[in-house]
Amino acid sequence: MNNQDLHRQVRQQDEEVNEETPLLHAAPSTEPYSVFTVNQKRLIILTAALASSFSPLSANIYYPALNSIAKDLRVSLSQINLTITTYMGLAPMMTVSLADQAGRRPAYILCFVIYTFGNIALALQHSFPALLALRAVQSCGSSGTVALASAVAADIITSAERGMYIGFTSLGNILAPSIGPILGGVLSKYLGWQAIFWFLATAAGAFFLPLLLFFPETCRGIVGNGSTPAVGWNRAIWSYLQTTSVVSPTPPSSIVPRKRVNFPNPCSTLSLFSHRPVGLVLLANGVVFSSYYAVTAGIPALFHKIYDLDDLGIGLCFIPAGLGSLLSATTNGVLVDWNYRRTRISAGQTVHKNQKQDIIGFPIEQARLQIGLPMTILAAVSIVIYGVLIPLEPPLLVALAVVFVICFCITAAYNVMNILIVDLYYETPATAMAANNLVRCFLGAGAAAMVNPLIRRIVQTFPWNPGYQLQVRYAGGQWINPGMELDIPETSVIPELSSMNLRCNQKYITVFIDLDAILPGTRIQSVILHWYQPNLMIDCTKPKTPSILVPGDDHGDNHHSAASYIAPRAPPNTHHRYVYLLFAQPPGYKFPECFSHVFPETVSARAGFDVRGFIQAAGLNPPIAMNYFIGRHEPTEGETTTMPHGATTTSFRSVDCPTTSAGLVA
C-alpha cells in the first residue's frame, strides 16, 4: 500500500480520521498550522524532550547498581537481570492510544503520577518480587513519554521545520544513556542503590509540577491548531488562574468536535507493522538504533579489559557518545530541513513553514532519505571500523573518537527515520511513534543482551588475532605462529616474548607448560611447568616494534624468584603441545605459597602443575595473550626409535590453596 492508495482509502472512508489510517491529504488552508509563537514552540518542544528523558534515564541509571541490589536482596545476577526485562513493557501502546483520543496533557499527567509513585515504592521495597513488579509499574509511567515527545512535535511543527524540532525531542532519549551510568554509579557508591529511586522520584516531581501548571494541550484532535480553548484536564492550571484574562470567542470554523474517549486499544499500534512503507521504515529504524545499543552496551566490558578503567572512568567514556548525539541532533536537523525546502522548490512548489502542505505527489520519502540513507551507510562503516580497531587495542582517545562518530551518524539516521514516520502518520503521531518505540526497544534489548556473549564467542573461536597473540621467538628463529612445529633442539634457550599494546609501568607474568608430558616409567599424562617468570615489563624509553618483555628490577616477587626455564625434553618420536600464557600482574602480587614446590628444576617438582588452581590461588585474571607450538623430537643417530606408550590417565599434583580471586579460566 503506497501513499496514493492510502489517500484513496481515506476518501472512501468519508474523510474520517482514525488511528489505523494516516491522513496524507488535507484541503488547502490559509490558517496557520499552529498559533503558538516561535518561543512558545521551543519551550513546548524542550518540555517534551525533558519528559522523554525519564524513560532511558530510568533504565541506564539502574545498571551500575545491579551488583549491589543482587547482593542486598540475596539473589543471583541472572535473577536481577529479569528486572531489566520487565522494564521494557508494552505500556506505551496503551498510553499513546489514550493520548491520541483524550489529549497529550492527560497522558502526561497519568504517566508522571504512576512513575513518581512507582519510584517511591521502589526506594522503600526490600524484596526481589516487589522489585520485579514495581519496575514494571515504573515502566508503565515513563515509557510512553518517548512517543509523546514526537507526537507533541508533530502537533505544532510542519514538515518544513520538522527536521530541527524532532531532532531536539530525541535528545533526552540519546543523552540519558550517557548521563545515567555516571549518576547511578555516584548515587549507588555514596548513598546506596535506594538513592537512585529517590533521585528519580524527586526529579520527576520537580518536573511534573511546572508541567501541570503551564504545559498546554497540543493534540490537534482536541485543540486544532491551538486556537480552540481546552477544557477539563486538557487545560493548563495556569490558564484557570488567569481570571482577569479576556477570552475572545472562538470562530466556529476552528472548533474541533469532541470525540468519545474509548478504552485504549494497543491493536492500533500493532496494525502499523502491516502498512507500507511505514512498516519497513519502523524495521529499518529499529535495526539502526539497535546498533547503537550494541556499541554502547559493549563499552563497559571492553574498555575495562583493554584500558583497565574503573566504573567512574567507564561512565566518563560515554561523554563522547553524548556529545556526538547532541551535535548530530542540531546540525542534522538543519540539513534535513534544508533538503526538504530544496526538494519542494525543485518540484515547483512553495514552502510554507507554518501551514500544512499536501504530500500527495510530493516525494517525501526522497526528501528525507537523501539525508538518512548516507548517514545510515556512514554509521555502518564507522561500526565496522570500530569492530576492526578494538581487537587491536588502540589508544583510548582513538576509540572514543570512533564512538563519537558512530553516535553522530546513528543519531542522524535515527532522527531522519523518526521524521519520516511522523510525516506519514501526522494525524496520529503518538500511535506511530509508539510502534517505533516498540521495535526500537525490543531490537535494542536483544542487541544489548547479545553483544557481550557474542564478543566472548568470537574471541573463543578466533583467539589468535593480533591483540591477543603472545609473540614468541627463539634465538635464530622466526616469530612463532600458533600451532607451528619446532624441533626440540631449537627451544633450548629462553625466547623473546612480546605482544601488541603492552603498557608501560605494567608488570606481566608468563607461564610456559607442556600439556602432553608422560611421567617417566608410567602411563600417566601430566602437565609440566617449564617456566614461571613474574615482573616482566617493556622498556618504554626505547621504542621498538614489537616491544620485547624483559624482567624488571625485581626478577621475582617479594617472596620467591622465578621458576627457572627448563628447555622442552619431549621423548623421541613424540609431538608435544607447549603453551605460553601471559597474565597482567596485579598490584601487590604475591606468589601463592601452596605452589612453592615448583622452584626446583626437577620432574617431581614441576610435574602435575594445575594451571587452573594456580590462576585461582594467585588471584590472576584470565590470560591476556597466549601462543603455542608443537615440539617435534625426531630421533637422531644413537637414540631409541621405540614409540612411547600412550597415556591411560591424567594426573595433577594435589595442593591445598585458599582462592583469593575468581579469575575465570575456560
What CATH code is carried by the domain that includes residue 183?
1.20.1250.20
Mean pLDDT along residues 473-493:
87
> With 80 as the cut, is the pLDDT of residue 473 above it?
yes
Q: Choose the final residue of a domain: 403, 430, 464.
A: 464
- The reply to whether 570 falls in a domain is yes
> With 90 as the cut, is the pLDDT of residue 84 above it?
no
> With 80 as the cut, is the pLDDT of residue 513 above it?
yes
Host domain of residue 144: 33-239
Residues 115 and 219 in one domain: yes
Residue type, 122: L
- The reply to whether 11 falls in a domain is no
Residues 181 and 225 in one domain: yes
Query: What does the alpha-carbon distance between residue 480 and residue 470 come to, in Å, rounded to a whole number?
Result: 9
**How many other CB atoms are there within 10 angstroms of residue 343's CB atom?**
18
- The reply to whether 290 falls in a domain is yes
Residues 212 and 347 in one domain: no
Question: pLDDT per residue over 517-570, tens digit each?
Answer: 877 666 677 889 999 999 998 877 665 555 788 887 654 444 457 889 999 887
Residues 628 and 482 in one domain: yes
Residues 424 and 481 in one domain: no
Write down the mean pLDDT value for the chain. 77
Residue-level pLDDT at 643: 47
Residues 378 and 318 in one domain: yes
Q: Choose the final residue of a domain: 188, 222, 239.
A: 239
Residue-level pLDDT at 485: 87
> With 50 as the cut, is the pLDDT of residue 575 above it?
yes
Residues 386 and 328 in one domain: yes
What CATH code is carried by the domain that includes residue 272?
1.20.1250
Question: pLDDT per residue over 207-266, tens digit each?
Answer: 999 999 999 999 888 888 888 888 888 888 888 777 544 444 545 444 455 555 565 556
Residue ranges in 347-428 assigned as alpha helix (H): 364-389, 396-424
- The reply to whether 19 falls in a domain is no
By the 8 A CB rule, do 559 and 638 touch?
no
Residues 176 and 70 in one domain: yes
Model confidence band, residue 112 (pLDDT cutoffs 50, 70, 90): very high
| Beta-bridge mates of residue 628 | 579
Residues 163 and 48 in one domain: yes
- The reply to whether 255 falls in a domain is no
Residues 446 and 476 in one domain: no
How many domains would you assign to the chain? 3
> With 90 as the cut, is the pLDDT of residue 504 above it?
no
Q: Choose the final residue of a domain: 239, 254, 273.
A: 239
- The reply to whether 252 falls in a domain is no
Q: What DSSP string describes 478-490?
A: -PPPTTEEEEGGG
- The reply to whether 247 falls in a domain is no
Residue-level pLDDT at 534: 93
- CA triple 361-280-104, angle to 5 deg: 80
Query: What does the alpha-carbon distance between residue 137 and residue 132 come to, in Å, rounded to a whole number?
Result: 9
Least confident of 90-104, 403-417, 506-520, 593-607: 90-104
User: What Rg do the C-alpha atoms of the chain give, in angstroms?
Assistant: 32
Least confident of 99-103, 158-162, 287-291: 158-162
Residues 453 and 575 in one domain: no
- The reply to whether 541 falls in a domain is yes
Query: What does the alpha-carbon distance between residue 332 and residue 450 come to, in Å, rounded to a whole number?
Result: 30
All cell numbers assigned to 234: 486538557
Identify each DSSP E strand in 539-573 by its residue range: 549-551
What CATH code is carried by the domain that includes residue 561?
3.90.280.10
Residues 487 and 576 in one domain: yes
Question: pLDDT per residue over 16-73, tens digit each?
Answer: 433 333 434 444 456 788 888 888 888 998 899 899 889 888 877 877 777 778 778 8
Residue type, 198: W
